[in-house]
Structure 1
Amino acid sequence: MDDNRTMAQLLEAPTKGYEDVIVVPEITADNFELKHGLLTLFQNKQFFGHDKEDPHAHIYYFNKITSTMKFPNVPSTSVKLMLFPFSLEGAARIWLEKEPPRPIQRWDNLVSKFINKFFPPSKTTNLRNKITRFQQRFDETFYEAWDRFNDLLRACPHHGFSELRSNSIHSKNALN
């Protein structure tokens, strides 16, 4: 194998491998830019990836903020893809940086990868079991139990129970 590069070329730092994980579709709108203040807004409420953090709440908050932004001729999903990395820090940022380059091109794919990472199936199973075995505590009022039950439902929005099923589980357990 002949390598005809000069010593200077051999010593140059590599430039490959720095591709972004998230690929934002090309934006053709004139004069489009994200202002620094907007980035700061997302950096003030970052998701770190701690066990006690709720990734569903993070996505909900993120969607709520981005839904208030309108840029002419710019799809909202493109804006979300651009801004999402600024909403992560710590273990969550490291997770995103370790993803293989260029796999995420759609907002729903990013949300799916994020939720699967920070809300694994085992956590879903655990919460679904708590929901199905829910009982009112002896020292708790009906309203306190109802709040606690709804907290479980909110903690696992993809619990898979229909509204009717959830209400019947609660009603049956509350009567016991």
Structure 2
Amino acid sequence: MAQMLQAPIEGYEDAIVVPPINANNFELKQTLINLVQSNQFTGRQDPQNHLRFFNKVTSTSRHPEVLNTTIKLLLFPFSQEGEARTWLDKEPPRSILTWEDLVSKFINQFFPPSKTTYLRNEIINFLQKPNETFNEACKRFKNLLRQCPHHGFSDLNQLDTL
């Protein structure tokens, strides 16, 4: 009976599977971890901006025997907190096998299709506001495009909208 009431000892594995590292003297530098943690994603910011920053930071760490994608998989949990950390912790154990898997799941979680639809509609229905200069309107329009880089509009469509 006592065994049935005890917490299980399995199921505590991470979702991210990091490939084996067969390199001598490889370690993540604390300064790199600190830099990643200086811009943690909580689930409320733009996930694409977070990935851009994360890619810039991780590109500064190189080891001849370790793939950059392996370094990214090791560091990514350090870049998450709050809602985002909860999401990562709730992913099934050993369910993320590659950097591409991680990016896909991350973007689908924090940039759902509904957000894409909303931003595409904002782009399609874009209008210059009263008392807004053309230059200000262009900046606002470019910001919308930047928020949704997969908008799918050609340069000609974008010009027609303006």
Q: TM-score range by the shorter chain?
A: over 0.9
Structure 1 residue 30 and structure 2 residue 30: aligned? Answer: no
What is the aligned partner in structure 2 of residue 114 from structure 1?
A: 106
**CA–CA distance in structure 2, aligned partners of residues 65 and 38 of structure 1:** 8
**CA–CA distance in structure 2, aligned partners of residues 64 and 164 of structure 1:** 31
SS across alignment from 2:41: coil
Aligned residues: 162
CA positional deviation for 1:75? 0.3
What is the aligned partner in structure 1 of residue 62 from structure 2?
A: 70
Structure number with greater Rg is 1
TM-score with structure 2 setting the length: 0.93
**CA–CA distance in structure 1, aligned partners of residues 3 and 125 of structure 2:** 66
Structure 1 residue 83 and structure 2 residue 71: aligned? Answer: no
SS across alignment from 2:14: coil
Structure 1 residue 161 and structure 2 residue 153: aligned? Answer: yes
Distance of aligned partners of 1:169 and 1:30 in 2 relative to their CA distance in 1, 3 Å threshold: same
What is the aligned partner in structure 1 of residue 140 from structure 2?
A: 148
CA positional deviation for 1:113? 0.6
Instruction: State the one-letter code of the partner of 2:95.
Output: P
41-50 vs 122-131, which moves further: 41-50
| Equivalent pair of 2:42/2:85 in contact (CA under 8 Å) | yes
**CA–CA distance in structure 1, aligned partners of residues 9 and 64 of structure 2:** 34
- Identity, % of aligned positions: 60
CA positional deviation for 1:64? 1.1
Distance of aligned partners of 1:142 and 1:82 in 2 relative to their CA distance in 1, 3 Å threshold: same
What is the aligned partner in structure 2 of residue 44 from structure 1?
A: 38
CA positional deviation for 1:11? 7.9
TM-score with structure 1 setting the length: 0.86
What is the aligned partner in structure 1 of residue 86 from structure 2?
A: 94
Unaligned runs of 5+ in 1: 1-6, 171-176
**CA–CA distance in structure 2, aligned partners of residues 96 and 13 of structure 1:** 21
**CA–CA distance in structure 1, aligned partners of residues 34 and 51 of structure 2:** 17
CA positional deviation for 1:12? 6.7
Distance of aligned partners of 1:167 and 1:67 in 2 relative to their CA distance in 1, 3 Å threshold: farther
What is the aligned partner in structure 2 of residue 173 from structure 1?
A: none
**CA–CA distance in structure 2, aligned partners of residues 47 and 103 of structure 1:** 21
Instruction: State the one-letter code of the partner of 1:154.
Output: R
